[in-house]
Amino acid sequence: MFSALLGIPMMLLVVMLQTVVVRSLPLLQGSADLVMVVIIAWSLQERVEVNYTWAIIGGLLVGLVSSVPWYVPVTAYLLVNGIANFLRRQAWQTPILAMILTTLVGSIISLGLQWAVLQVQGIPLPWLESFNLVLLPTTFLNLLLSLPVYALITDMAGSVYPEEVVV
């Protein structure tokens, strides 16, 4: 319950940072998806029980400030959250590898869903240009952000969910 309540102000802050700071630092036509990277890092924390609420809150907030329909970021972030939860259970001894892998796959899923929805809406986006100018740079920037964000979120999760000391 506390995790869900913490998710609202955290996601508001992260969406504001993404909208104001991160979007102003593009690489070609792509820019990092800070919200997705934070959701992945939070989902990979061992002590966090309920983490899908951050994906829903972040997706709704990103849906409000972006030009894609609101359900696209919600769907993408829930899929990425599911992948992170799966990898957390399977690769629990290597969370950094899980972070990098989930960020890579999540970037492809998120941008692929956005591209598909825009195609269905009749907006012509050439596949090769979208891949070269948006998907590759965005994935690269997300991977660059993934390790520092993971370190910050791990520290935050340690403060929110301190380890129990056995005496």
pLDDT tens digits, 10-50: 888 988 988 888 887 878 888 888 999 999 999 888 877 77
Entry pTM: 0.89
Residues paired with 30 in a beta bridge: 27
- In eight-state DSSP terms, residue 124 is -
Residue 164 lies in a domain: no
Identity of the amino acid at 109: I
Predicted confidence band of residue 91 (pLDDT cuts 50, 70, 90): low
46-90 tens-digit pLDDT: 877 777 888 899 999 999 998 888 899 999 999 999 998 888 887
Residue 163 lies in a domain: no
Domain that holds residue 59: 2-158
Residue 165 lies in a domain: no
Is the Cβ–Cβ distance between 38 and 10 less than 8 Å? yes
134-150 tens-digit pLDDT: 899 999 999 999 999 99
Residue 92 lies in a domain: yes
Predicted confidence band of residue 127 (pLDDT cuts 50, 70, 90): confident
Residue 69 lies in a domain: yes
Residue 166 lies in a domain: no
Residue 21 lies in a domain: yes
Residue 43 lies in a domain: yes
Place of tokens 């929110």: 160
- Give CA angle at 150 (13, 101), nearest 5°: 115
> DSSP alpha helices (H): ranges in 21-90?
34-43, 52-65, 71-90
Q: What is the distance between the alpha carbons of residues 58 and 67, in angstroms, rounded to a whole number? A: 15
109 Cβ partners below 8 Å, 6+ apart? 76, 79, 80, 83
- Total domain count, the chain: 1
